[in-house]
């Protein structure tokens, strides 16, 4: 059924392409032909981190955060992104993002700073105002404000375990329909222009299908995942709040290279993978709140049976912040508490996690092109897989320098 839905979306978009040809005609003579490269823009950012200042436990690590926590960790290039995008036609927009700071493991050696595709998608608008549009390609799945919010603007250095454990790099290959009224488009633009730590415009309502094995991974079954999100920003005097509900469902295939020898699985390696979540955001004008909670079912390691089974998962977070300026320099102190209990399908044997973590820090932006973030973290992390029973806690101070261009 999901494959038929994807085919229908492609057919609808094809008909729009044909009808859109009438928009290119004009009775007025053209005085100047716009070159293709005039519509192209280039931007990006880079992040350099150090995670071991004031460290109390060198055995504490967080694979989902970044791999420079703990023993043998040093200065770390977390991201180095280059974005090329452009409105090449009144109804056609493209976006391509590459990260040049990826690590590739091979045996005991790890190669660093390889380029890898993050986004590569095309937006086809059904109208000149971009209220209705289809998105084709690899892009973020509309699930979780924490996931949709760019790492370039996010206050906390890493995303939360609960929201980010569903989709590797927050992305996958898919086809999505998005609807955003003009009034909401204007509100999202205001949020971005005023640096209010928004997520960008992913539609007031979005629905679509995607492969389900996550970004840059080969599809391993004949079933598509489906996802939908409904959100709405509301003005209350000078403040802007946003409420969202969302969910996804599908069948995830546990990759064989993530399975320990001897761990028990079902015969097909296909597991139910579904989640639902709600979020609330009060944009920082000057006080801000960001909170989300998710529940679902997914592949999870069971240490009582030494097997990977479908089991419940749950978790969420609350982030508080305050945005202020001193002599045109931006300061945003913030604090976050997060909790997660359940499996992580993207890790070895779908590790079964219990995470409790608190952090407090400040983002300082003396110039538009430079940011410094300092964060104190207290983390209590436990997980089990077929070969490991991990339980560590401790604190550390994390530093991040960010370049924006």
- What separation in angstroms does the CA of 51 have from each of 217, 375, 396? 29, 9, 7
> Any idea what the CATH number is for the domain that residue 154 is in?
2.40.160.10
Q: pLDDT tens-digit profile of 10-53? A: 444 444 444 444 444 444 555 567 777 889 999 999 999 999 99
**Tens digits of residue pLDDT in 252-298:** 999 999 999 999 999 999 999 999 999 999 999 999 999 999 999 99
User: Average pLDDT, stretch 394-404?
Assistant: 98
Nearest to 130 by CA among 180, 68, 67, 184: 180
Of 60, 155, 187, the closest CA to residue 364 belongs to: 155
- Assign 104 a pLDDT band (cuts: 50, 70, 90): confident
**105 is a domain residue:** yes
- Which of the residue ranges 66-70, 107-111, 218-222 would you say has the lowest mean pLDDT? 107-111
Q: Encoding tokens for residue 385?
A: 């897989």
Q: What are phi and psi of 187, to 5 degrees?
A: -65, -45
In a domain, 11, yes or no: no
pLDDT digits (tens, 9 = 90+) for 237-253: 889 999 999 999 999 99
DSSP reduced 3-state for 60 = coil
Query: Would 277 be classed as within a structural domain?
Result: yes
Q: Is residue 76, in this structure, part of any structural domain at all?
A: yes
Q: Which residues contact 358 (CB under 8 A, 6 or more apart)?
A: 335, 336, 337, 377, 378
Would you state the structure tokens that stand for residue 232, as one six-digit string?
């709405």
Specify the pTM: 0.90
Greater confidence (307 vs 65) lies with: 307
pLDDT in tens, 134-169: 999 999 999 999 999 999 999 999 999 999 999 999
Write the pLDDT tens digit of every residue in 121-131: 999 999 999 99
Residues in the chain: 405
* pLDDT single digits (tens) 57-70: 999 999 888 889 99
**CA distances (Å), origin 99, targets 5, 123, 139, 205, 271:** 32, 21, 14, 29, 30
Tokens of 230: 């409904």
The two three-digit tokens of residue 176, written as one number: 């999505």
Question: Does 7 map to a domain?
Answer: no
pLDDT band at 78 (very low <50, low <70, confident <90, very high): very high
Domain that holds residue 396: 39-404
Q: What is the 3-state secondary structure (H, E, C) of 271-319?
A: EEEEEEEEEEEECCCCEEEEEEEEEEEEEEEECCCCEEEEEEEEEEEEE
Please provide the average confidence, as pLDDT, over all residues in the chain.
92
Structure tokens at 90: 């009144």
The whole-angstrom separation of Cα 204 and Cα 177 is: 11
pLDDT at 287: 97
pLDDT > 90? residue 174: yes
Quick one: pLDDT at residue 109? 56
Judge contact between 159 and 212, C-beta under 8 A.
no
Distance between CA atoms of 233 and 204, rounded to whole angstroms? 9
Residue 45 neighbours by CB distance under 10 Å: 19
Which pLDDT does position 103 carry in this prediction? 83
> How many structural domains are present in the chain?
1
Q: Tell me: the pLDDT tens digits for 183-213?
A: 999 999 999 999 999 999 999 999 999 999 9
- The answer to whether the CB of 377 falls within 8 A of the CB of 362 is no
Which pLDDT value is given to residue 1?
54
Confidence category of residue 112, pLDDT binned at 50, 70, 90: confident
Whether 20 maps to a domain, the answer reads no
- Does any domain span residue 203? yes
Whole-number Å distance between alpha carbons of 269 and 310: 11
Residue with tokens 């992104």: 81
Q: DSSP characters for 134-156? A: EEEEEEE-S--HHHHS-TTT-SS
Which alpha helices (DSSP H) does 32-159 contain, by range?
A: 145-148
Let me know if residue 16 belongs to a domain: no
């Amino acid at each position: 059924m999901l494959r038929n839905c994807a085919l229908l979306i492609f057919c609808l978009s094809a008909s729009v392409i044909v009808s859109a040809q009438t928009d290119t005609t004009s009775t007025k003579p053209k005085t100047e032909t716009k070159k293709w490269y005039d519509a192209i823009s280039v931007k990006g950012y880079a992040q350099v981190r150090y995670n071991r200042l004031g460290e109390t436990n060198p055995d504490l690590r967080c694979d989902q955060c970044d791999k420079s926590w703990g023993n043998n960790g040093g200065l770390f290039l977390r991201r180095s992104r280059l974005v090329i995008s452009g409105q090449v036609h009144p109804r056609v927009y493209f976006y391509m993002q590459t990260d040049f700071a990826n690590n590739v493991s091979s045996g005991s050696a790890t190669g660093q700073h390889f380029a890898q595709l993050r986004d590569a998608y095309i937006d086809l608008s059904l109208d000149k105002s971009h209220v209705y549009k289809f998105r084709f390609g690899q892009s973020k799945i509309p699930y979780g404000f924490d996931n949709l919010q760019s790492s370039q603007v996010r206050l906390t250095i890493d995303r939360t375990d609960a929201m980010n454990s569903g989709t590797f790099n927050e992305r996958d290959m898919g086809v999505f329909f998005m609807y955003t009224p003009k009034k909401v488009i204007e509100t999202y633009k205001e949020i971005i222009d005023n640096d209010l730590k928004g997520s960008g415009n992913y539609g007031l309502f979005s629905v679509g299908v995607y492969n389900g094995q996550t970004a840059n991974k080969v599809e391993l079954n004949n079933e598509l995942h489906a996802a939908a999100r409904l959100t709405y920003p509301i003005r209350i005097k000078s403040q802007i709040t946003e409420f969202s509900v969302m969910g996804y469902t599908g069948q995830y295939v546990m990759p064989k290279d993530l399975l320990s020898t001897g761990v028990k699985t079902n015969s097909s390696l296909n597991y139910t993978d579904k989640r639902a979540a709600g979020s609330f955001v009060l944009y920082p004008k000057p006080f801000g709140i960001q909170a989300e909670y998710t529940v679902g079912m997914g592949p999870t390691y069971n240490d009582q049976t030494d097997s990977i089974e479908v089991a419940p998962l749950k978790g969420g977070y609350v982030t508080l912040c305050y945005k202020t300026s001193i002599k045109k320099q931006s300061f945003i102190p913030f604090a976050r508490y997060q909790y997660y209990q359940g499996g992580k399908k993207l890790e070895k044997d779908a590790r079964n996690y219990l995470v409790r973590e608190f952090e407090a820090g400040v983002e300082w932006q003396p110039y538009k092109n430079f940011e410094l973030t300092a964060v104190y973290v207290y983390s209590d992390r436990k997980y089990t897989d077929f070969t490991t029973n991990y339980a560590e806690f401790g604190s550390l101070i994390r530093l991040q320098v960010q370049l924006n261009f």
